[in-house]
């Protein structure tokens, strides 16, 4: 089965702590349990990156990030607020919160069914990991 997995990152290697402010999303095209291709998608679609007010995006439906990642079925990140998690999941994008720091390693673990979803990493307000 083919799927795209997005990972929030600032440098294209490590997972970042704040999804809305990340520099990019690393998009892993996968088939079965293998990474087939890697694309770096610059984050020019979240309110935080566009200089929008923090609360504005959280009151909305996170439509920009949903649109920017609509071809992905999974988002791996180190922390996210419950509103973002709910909005993404309601639009078919499963959110996995992890303490793993390396993006490619996290995707490999996910594909092997070994990446734990650490829901304690969900944050609220400005308390981002």
Range of the domain at 79: 2-121
User: Does residue 28 sit within a domain?
Assistant: yes
Hey, CA dihedral for 97, 74, 55, 102, is it positive or negative? positive
CATH of the domain at 67: 3.30.420.130
At residue 49 the predicted structure's pLDDT band, cuts being 50, 70 and 90, is low
Let me know if residue 126 belongs to a domain.
no
Residue-wise pLDDT tens digits, 56-82: 444 456 888 999 999 999 999 999 889
**Residue 81 domain-assigned (yes or no):** yes
In a domain, 16, yes or no: yes
Q: How many domains does the chain have?
A: 1
Residues 6+ apart with CB under 8 A from 89: 95
Q: What is the pTM of this model?
A: 0.86
CA torsion angle 96 24 46 86 (round to 10): -10
Residue 46 is assigned to a structural domain of this protein: yes
């Amino acid at each position: 089965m083919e799927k795209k997995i997005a990972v929030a990152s600032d440098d294209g290697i490590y997972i970042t702590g704040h999804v809305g402010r990340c520099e990019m999303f690393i998009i892993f095209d996968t088939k079965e349990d293998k990474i087939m291709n890697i694309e770096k998608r610059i984050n020019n679609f979240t309110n935080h990156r566009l200089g929008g007010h923090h609360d504005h995006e959280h009151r909305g439906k996170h439509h920009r990030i949903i649109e920017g990642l609509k071809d992905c079925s999974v988002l791996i990140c180190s922390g996210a607020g419950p509103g973002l998690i709910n909005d993404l999941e309601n639009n078919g994008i499963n959110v996995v919160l992890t303490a793993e720091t390396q993006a490619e390693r996290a995707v490999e673990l996910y594909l092997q069914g070994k990446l734990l979803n650490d829901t304690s990493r969900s944050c609220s307000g400005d308390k981002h990991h």
